[in-house]
Structure 1
Amino acid sequence: MSHPETSLPVDSPTLAELTRAELIELIEAQQEAGIRISFPGKSNARKTGRRVRPRTLRELKSYGAGSEPERAHNLVIEGDNLQSLATLYKDRGQVDLIIADPPYNTGRDFRYNDRWDDDPNDPGLGEYVASDDGARHTKWMKFMWPRLQMMKSMLKPGGVIAVCIDYRELFRLGQMLDELFMEQNRLAIINWQKSYAPRNDKNHVSAATEYILVYAKDEARATTALLPRTPEMDARYRSPDGDPRIWKPKDASGSKAAKNQTMVYAIQSPFTGELHYPQAGSCWRTAQRQLLTWITQWGADYELRDLDDAVERAKIIGIAPSDVPPVMGIVLKTPLGKASAAARKRLEAGHWPQLFFGQKGTGRPALKSYLEDVKQGRVPTTFWADEDYTQPIVLGTTSWAHTESGHSQTGIGELDAIVGPHHGFDTVKPLKLIEKVINLWCPPDGIVLDPFAGSGTTGHAVLRLNAETGSERRFTLIEQGRPDRGDSYARSLLADRLKRVISGKWRSQTVDPQPGGFRFAALDRKVDAAALLSMERGEMTDTVIASHFDSNRRRGPGLSYEAPAKYRYLVARNADDEGFFLVWDGPNENTNLTEDVYEDIVAEATDANLKPIYHVYARLFLFQTDDVIFYQIPDRILRDFGLDLRGEPFSEE
């Protein structure tokens, strides 16, 4: 199903109909010799993201948690994730990490509405795609393509996306990500062990692992952190010589002899007099002057001397003897017998020099590597083994259901303890797994986005890491739930879980609360000029706060609400204690900034202890003054949602 694309697909529009972004993509495809995935409806799927309309956000305060400043840091959106991503236009290019756990296309977890092919704004949920549906892979790719496109645009230049998947769509997802993000930006394919006991699942080989595909928006600008060191790693450091600092031995030589030819020479042992050279292809890893200082600490005098050993060094470097640069070796100046006696005396005394020759003095040159000097972390590998995921993150005093049945049940056990059993959600990732991803690819002050939030594991992980490490990460979670059953996971499960994590009032026990909060908002009406101008004040307040974007404050929390009953115009404040005022009593009354309205705004700002800079949303600017920053309704709101003021479809351009 993959081929090099050298021309427009059959179902593509003409060149004149292509957008600028599509033309650039087409030109890049012509220039590349790589393989690009092809599937029926791909051309239409590529345009879907630009045809989806953003929505207004209606805050449901009872489902949120925390004070107003705490709520402003994090956001939970109830609704379709494609529409939600379009609504989050103001956050494009600002997200550090996206964690996505999309449906695995198992035959019972994925819906597709055929009407989305013509109108991606169609509200229908679609039917479940059965495992025997001949078009199930095509439908899944048409569903995922525009979402992956929009996720990529949400990432900052050095941002990272981590997508969870199993064997069913692994290869198709990998091809889509290779094409959208480019193969050179693939950071890892993580293979994590979800269960350690073979299951009788009627397959030839029992599936014990799942995968996380990790891509950077730009590999050169992305950063992968070190993982915390384990006690087992630190236990390798000891002090057999009585050194007050614990250490472990490491080879005094390293690779790349061909690039460091002047660091290939002999070092004479003070114990045996043997001349030691680096191993083939290796060179000494420390400057000669430093090695000379360390070796004289064994009680003998040394000097640099030409040993006429070009042939020996040439073999190590892998070049002809005539090409070997002249380098002198480090050799004894003190007679060997006297040097050996001094060295053995120092060996018995303990606290050896940093360059040593084994614990008995008969080994090759080695260096002491002190624990306090090594990087305080470990490099991640692509296989994440079972020891990380066998037990829930907190056991407490209450038994956890299902923990004995394998790693795939760990997340369910954690969720059971927090919200109680019988929640009906059986695709929960272990908390440790998500924490590990966040630690690796989201900075301590970064933003995490989860467009398939499920039970809220990502939000829980952010709150817990913030509490444990003092980090200030923020999250945005999107979850539609099951509106066809009248049971939204976003409300009944996700919000409930996060509120219990924040309060510490778990269903099974009371635990330490996790500081933080979040706003809970539901997608509402499609955004266009007519919809905005017909809004009542409450709707307009939510829309202003949802849409506001300040290019000078690309990080930091958004606007936080003020008590609407106390003030007529003041609706929010930002982190700089500047007030935001809405002149809007409905579509037909009091919508303009006049002198009288301005005086009331100043009075309200003074009462609320706000700075004398007034951000005012209104229909018309009828009173001019330097201390007002004016936002016209509906034009500014439409622009902040990414909509062209001429009414054209949504566009990132």
Structure 2
Amino acid sequence: MPTLHWIGKEKVVNHHRDVPFRVLEPAYTFITEQQTAPAAAANKIIHGDNLEALKALLPEYEGKVKCIYIDPPYNTGNESWVYNDNVNDPKIQRWLQQVVGKEGEDLTRHDKWLCMMYPRLKLLHKLLASDGAIFISIDDNAQGFLRPLVDEVFGVGNFVTNIIWEKADSPRNSARQFSTDHDYIMVYSKNTDWVPNRLPRDEASNSIYSNPDKDPRGPWLPGDPYANKPYSKGLYTIEGPTGRSFSPPQGRFWRISEEKLRDLDKDGRIWWGPNGSARPSIKRYLSEVSDLVPRTLWKKDEVGSNRTSKNEINLLFPESASFDTPKPSLLIERILRLATDKESIILDSFAGSGTTAHAVLNLNKEDGGNRRFILVEMEDYAEGITAERVKRVMQGYGEGSKAVAGTGGDFTYYTLGPCLFDEENNLNEAVGLERMRQYIWYSETRSPYPAPVAGSDTYFLGSLHHTAYYFVYEPNQITNLDYDFLATVTHKAEQYVMYADNCLLPKELLQKYNIVFKKIPRDISRF
């Protein structure tokens, strides 16, 4: 398989493993549907570096995200937008200096963009479910670089398609060479057997069906009775209602057997034209056809355009035109229809103005679904635009004839907290004991942390699959697995996993009671 090489690649190929694990700090919960806010809503908006945020999501969401949509910076060099579409952003520059080193000073714009994208794609791959898919918006400027990059991370066999989105409503006569009418949405799956949902039929797709003979089965479409290869035995000639004979043209064959054709004719499922003298057509009834197979050309009148998205954002923020480059919510809704079910988790780690959350809320309102969104935005407008848009969608926005009813819903707004491990690779006590316990549980079980059971052992985390987990940790003293500690263990299990600073029990005893000792901090898994 061809691979893409660039300056700095060897420094970022495994960088996702070195990204520090930070805890998520809830800042507030916004809620519209209940009187009392929950401790934390299922929907998340995270303000912070998306590389660190993706790492922070791994314990809870690794392999659980059904649909990922990202609209990364296209690296056009345009620095006039609020969404700085350029890897010369100071945050990216600092990161490149730290990770790539002095080589980073000589990188081209595209080298920098590839260095930025690679570790983020690696973490997105980890978060994606086995039956999930990722959709990536991109333009011609970066598509040639992105394709081999995603081939390398997701596997060339998991490329699904490249969707063309008609983004322009009218040509740009100021263009020096060509007026660009489209962008792309690149689609990759986690596994090669991924199949998108079909799209519901609409008026346009149904309008080609008619009922000229008032068939009681309803509207139908005439189907070709001939095929390019023989589906039935031999060739035959059949006589129509007016006595005219019909047989396939040279080189073609009947699609069905003569017996089958006559049975369909008796049942009124063959159309011989208005006068009964036309060649036979097999009726395909609207009531019997399935939903639509998605196509790769998405027209603006179906999913919106740049103008649609600007009108949408202006209606949401009439006080200021503060965001010039959102995607239309209809476009993201189309993606969600193809790639999610009613209980799916959707992730957008380049959240921008929050269009993905808008689309999730719209679709949930339409079909009663419980899809959940996770947005990550590193820029300063994460609260003032991203989160604010989600609030307005939930509550309703616009006035008069343009008023849009609220969808309801809730979300928790997070920032990135301290690292779980300090510079000496020890547990950072600033994160708090409860966060440590959650991390240990996730690292062992890949399941949600259970609420502590009243009256249970002090260091007991929980039990899963007949295994009991203990985290024997004290901030100000060394902890030991010894006979005194074992005397305090009351939970019965087939196996025990116990974290502590030291183990003073003989190996024979550990084997007898199926105890697995893990030393703090050496044996704590690093995501």
TM-score above 0.5 = yes
Identity of aligned residues (%): 30
Q: 1:527 aligns with which of 420, 425, 437?
A: 420
Residue 62 (structure 2) aligns with: 92
* Letter of the structure 2 residue corresponding to residue 354 of structure 1: R
C-alpha separation in 2, matches of 1:296 and 1:48:
70
Q: CA deviation at 1:83?
A: 1.0
Residue 279 (structure 2) aligns with: 364
Report if the CA contact (8 A) 1:355-1:365 is conserved: yes
* Letter of the structure 2 residue corresponding to residue 355 of structure 1: I
C-alpha separation in 2, matches of 1:275 and 1:167:
52
Q: CA deviation at 1:650?
A: 4.3
Q: CA deviation at 1:101?
A: 0.4
Residue 490 (structure 2) aligns with: 624
Residue 76 (structure 1) aligns with: 45
Q: CA deviation at 1:294?
A: 2.6
Q: CA deviation at 1:452?
A: 0.4
Report if the CA contact (8 A) 1:419-1:507 is conserved: no
Call closer, same or farther: CA 1:620–1:361 in 2, change over 3 Å: farther
C-alpha separation in 1, matches of 2:317 and 2:252:
59
The C-alpha deviation readout for 1:274-327, integer Å capped at 9, x for no partner, is: 03237734541x455432323345xxxxxxxxxxxxxxxxxxxxxxxxxxxxxx
**Secondary structure in structure 1 of the residue aligned to 2:140:** coil
Q: 1:494 aligns with which of 359, 380, 386?
A: 386
**Secondary structure in structure 1 of the residue aligned to 2:67:** strand
Q: 1:59 aligns with which of 19, 26, 30?
A: 26
**Secondary structure in structure 1 of the residue aligned to 2:276:** coil
C-alpha separation in 1, matches of 2:488 and 2:98:
40
Report if the CA contact (8 A) 1:56-1:527 is conserved: yes
Report how many aligned residue pairs link the two structures.
Answer: 483
The C-alpha deviation readout for 1:124-149, integer Å capped at 9, x for no partner, is: xxx9x9xxx97001111111111112
Call closer, same or farther: CA 1:86–1:428 in 2, change over 3 Å: same
Residue 292 (structure 1) aligns with: 262
The C-alpha deviation readout for 1:433-456, integer Å capped at 9, x for no partner, is: 111111112233222111101111
* Letter of the structure 2 residue corresponding to residue 381 of structure 1: R
Report if the CA contact (8 A) 2:237-2:245 is conserved: no
C-alpha separation in 2, matches of 1:357 and 1:155:
53
Residue 243 (structure 2) aligns with: 272
- Between 446-455 and 261-270, the greater mean CA deviation after superposition: 261-270
Call closer, same or farther: CA 1:106–1:232 in 2, change over 3 Å: same
* Letter of the structure 1 residue corresponding to residue 207 of structure 2: A
Report if the CA contact (8 A) 1:164-1:212 is conserved: yes
Report if the CA contact (8 A) 1:239-1:245 is conserved: no
Q: TM-score, normalised by structure 2?
A: 0.78
Report if the CA contact (8 A) 2:427-2:521 is conserved: no
C-alpha separation in 2, matches of 1:452 and 1:644:
35
The C-alpha deviation readout for 1:210-262, integer Å capped at 9, x for no partner, is: 1111111222x21212222221222222222122332223224354515x352
Q: 1:515 aligns with which of 394, 405, 408?
A: 408
Call closer, same or farther: CA 1:152–1:278 in 2, change over 3 Å: farther
The C-alpha deviation readout for 1:39-80, integer Å capped at 9, x for no partner, is: 112122211111112211111125576655695422222111
C-alpha separation in 1, matches of 2:333 and 2:494:
43
Q: CA deviation at 1:587?
A: 3.8
* Letter of the structure 2 residue corresponding to residue 380 of structure 1: P
Q: CA deviation at 1:644?
A: 11
RMSD: 4.3
Residues 1:233 and 2:205 are matched in the alignment: yes
* Letter of the structure 2 residue corresponding to residue 294 of structure 1: L
Call closer, same or farther: CA 1:63–1:588 in 2, change over 3 Å: farther
Q: What does 1:205-604 align with in structure 2 at a 5 Å threshold? A: 205-219=178-192, 221-253=193-225, 255=227, 257=229, 260=231, 262=233, 264-277=235-248, 280-284=251-255, 286=256, 288-296=258-266, 353-375=268-290, 377-390=291-304, 407-422=305-320, 424-481=322-379, 488-504=380-396, 511-528=404-421, 534-535=428-429, 539-541=432-434, 549=442, 587-588=475-476
Report if the CA contact (8 A) 1:79-1:478 is conserved: yes
C-alpha separation in 2, matches of 1:452 and 1:191:
20
C-alpha separation in 2, matches of 1:412 and 1:474:
25
- Between 495-504 and 288-297, the greater mean CA deviation after superposition: 288-297
Call closer, same or farther: CA 1:134–1:63 in 2, change over 3 Å: same
Residue 606 (structure 1) aligns with: none
C-alpha separation in 2, matches of 1:263 and 1:461:
54
C-alpha separation in 2, matches of 1:116 and 1:648:
26
Call closer, same or farther: CA 1:561–1:622 in 2, change over 3 Å: closer
Report if the CA contact (8 A) 2:169-2:306 is conserved: no
C-alpha separation in 1, matches of 2:169 and 2:323:
22
Residue 343 (structure 1) aligns with: none
Residue 147 (structure 2) aligns with: 174
Q: CA deviation at 1:362?
A: 1.1
Report if the CA contact (8 A) 2:222-2:271 is conserved: no
* Letter of the structure 1 residue corresponding to residue 5 of structure 2: S
Q: CA deviation at 1:534?
A: 4.9
Call closer, same or farther: CA 1:216–1:256 in 2, change over 3 Å: farther
Call closer, same or farther: CA 1:207–1:266 in 2, change over 3 Å: same
C-alpha separation in 1, matches of 2:161 and 2:2:
19
Report if the CA contact (8 A) 1:250-1:366 is conserved: yes
Q: 2:14 aligns with which of 47, 59, 64?
A: 47
Q: CA deviation at 1:93?
A: 1.7
Call closer, same or farther: CA 1:467–1:65 in 2, change over 3 Å: same
The C-alpha deviation readout for 1:153-184, integer Å capped at 9, x for no partner, is: 22222321111011211111122123333333
Gaps of 5+ in 2: 80-84, 463-469, 502-518
Call closer, same or farther: CA 1:242–1:79 in 2, change over 3 Å: same
Residues 1:204 and 2:171 are matched in the alignment: no
Call closer, same or farther: CA 1:283–1:45 in 2, change over 3 Å: farther
Residue 466 (structure 2) aligns with: none
C-alpha separation in 1, matches of 2:487 and 2:249:
78
Report if the CA contact (8 A) 1:187-1:216 is conserved: yes
C-alpha separation in 2, matches of 1:361 and 1:550:
73
C-alpha separation in 2, matches of 1:491 and 1:545:
27
Report if the CA contact (8 A) 1:58-1:539 is conserved: no
Q: CA deviation at 1:541?
A: 4.3
**Secondary structure in structure 2 of the residue aligned to 1:372:** helix
The C-alpha deviation readout for 1:591-620, integer Å capped at 9, x for no partner, is: 99xxxxxxxxxxxxxxxxxxxxxxxxxx99
C-alpha separation in 2, matches of 1:266 and 1:552:
68
Report if the CA contact (8 A) 1:70-1:518 is conserved: no
The C-alpha deviation readout for 1:397-430, integer Å capped at 9, x for no partner, is: xxxxxxxxxx313223222322434263222100
Gaps of 5+ in 1: 1-33, 298-352, 391-406, 482-487, 575-581, 593-618, 636-642
**Secondary structure in structure 1 of the residue aligned to 2:13:** helix
Call closer, same or farther: CA 1:197–1:295 in 2, change over 3 Å: closer
* Letter of the structure 1 residue corresponding to residue 163 of structure 2: I
C-alpha separation in 2, matches of 1:546 and 1:496:
30
Call closer, same or farther: CA 1:439–1:560 in 2, change over 3 Å: farther
**Secondary structure in structure 2 of the residue aligned to 1:226:** coil
Call closer, same or farther: CA 1:189–1:440 in 2, change over 3 Å: same
Q: CA deviation at 1:552?
A: 8.1
Report if the CA contact (8 A) 1:57-1:542 is conserved: no
C-alpha separation in 1, matches of 2:282 and 2:13:
57
